[in-house]
Structure 1
Amino acid sequence: MFHSLPIDSFVCQTTHCPDFQQSGRQNVKFRKFYGPQKRRLLRCRTCDTEFSETRGTPYWGSKLAPAQIDNIIDHLTHGTCFSSTAALTDCHRTTAAQFTRLAGVHLQRFHDLHSFVGEKVEQAWDFTVVNPRSKFVIKGQVGARTADLTGVLLSEARDRLADPQNLVLFTDGYLPYQSLFPELFGSAWQPPRQGKRGRFPRRTYRISRRTAHVRIIKEYSGKRGLTWP
């Protein structure tokens, strides 16, 4: 599982290190394999500290197999309660609750990094679709903020919803949301042609009365927000 990740994707996990959680420094090197699962022991060349490749992740320090941890988190993110998750994944319900906290902390750290790629020349966005009631992450994408990636995010999020035409979607003012929302969450409709000749009018999309899109556009003066229309 972890062996598929290149060494240069890891960062130092030692808090006192000058390169703590700094990507692109080329300071992390492979040291050796260890343990029955043959995990990699890594070394930071800056502070000369060794740490496991699972350090800083929900897998760190756990006696459960990574596949079982993935299964637990998968059930929890799909809305399964602790007791049912424990029964389905052969663990105790307190273990399921523990991984909810660990995965949440890991996700928060990932979000706080604001996802800069390489030498921080190219900015990457952390797109997430979240259910406001349950706080479950429905879908996420990381990459350059483009209309194509936005379309992939909304399309995959729609496919995971039980009723994609019964929702209110809140987004920021990014323009592609405005055109993608009716395309992905509406119903295609072909207006009739006027007369028997000529082209048909351009196809449009009808939005259900149970569906709405709210764009929140913030206006700033320096670092202070002025209006939120």
Structure 2
Amino acid sequence: MKTLTELHCPECQSLKNDPFKKYNTVHNGERILLKCDECDNVFSETAGTPMQDIKSPISKVASVLKIRSEGMGLRATGRVLGMHKNTVSTWERLFGDQKETLMLYSFCHEFVSLVFEGDELYTVVGRRTDAHASEGWTAVIMERSSRFIVDQRCGAKDAALFESVMSTVCEYISQTGDLSFFSDGERRYGNTLFAFCAEALRNGKPGRPPKTLPKGLKLRVKNKGDQKHKRGPKRKKYQAPLREHPETDQELDESNIHANHVEANNAAMRRRNSAFRRRTNTYAKTVLGLQRTLDVYWVIHNFVRKHWTTGEVPAVAMGVLSAPLGLEDILMMQK
């Protein structure tokens, strides 16, 4: 498997390349040209990386990303550093595009057991509207023990939003022997997951075989809200809302059915992501701009910054990496 730091040829994707010559840049010192052994293509070590065609020092780009990841607004960052806000947003977009590469790298690993939590948080996009009509809803999926954010997507609170995040969960199901998913009251996580990966269970009985979740996959919902004044049968406080495979281990402590860790992350995101701050009338201008900040947050949270509770970078705690990455490492990483 290709490592994250290996360089490949942009033309033929070959990993067989050797140093060809060195050249000096105005702001970034000495750079290396590489020559591909397969197609004789000569390319720079920045080819295919976020730093391609960027003349600013890599240390400045990393500083901008670090400042933004600590909660400073887009325009405020530009004013402090004497830059145009469009330059800052462009660097963020290039850095956030590394999410796809890092996510695919995470899918390549095998896991014995994973516990996912799902929750949502909300901000304003464009003009103020009712909460149910806003496009600022963000669905977040987190792995409990490592605090690794599996995925986070923003948009209107509809089926498309839940399908986008649960499709990522499905990628981990085939790589994990035992996977549990917990949600605080929102049943669309489970419904979407069931629609994606339910399998027919042939038990030899007449009739259509019932559909169940795959073996080893557990889904639990903590019912929230006041049930005292509602008519009809009362829901259990903790329940499996969908049919599970009969061979799946059902031993699960009810005290573990919660989404407290991802809720704590939502509070941290309101401090570190300026689009979720409550200091302005309009938090995010567009959905694409909000998703750009979420992608940057995803990369830095999972692969760069140590979590204050575990004391480890989430990707290292989860077993995806053996050592954390720096901002400069990700900026020089090919897509």
TM-score by length of 1: 0.48
Q: Highest relative contact order (Cα 8 Å, sep 6+), 1 or 2?
A: 2
Write 1 or 2 for the structure with the bigger share of strand: 1
TM-score (norm 2): 0.35
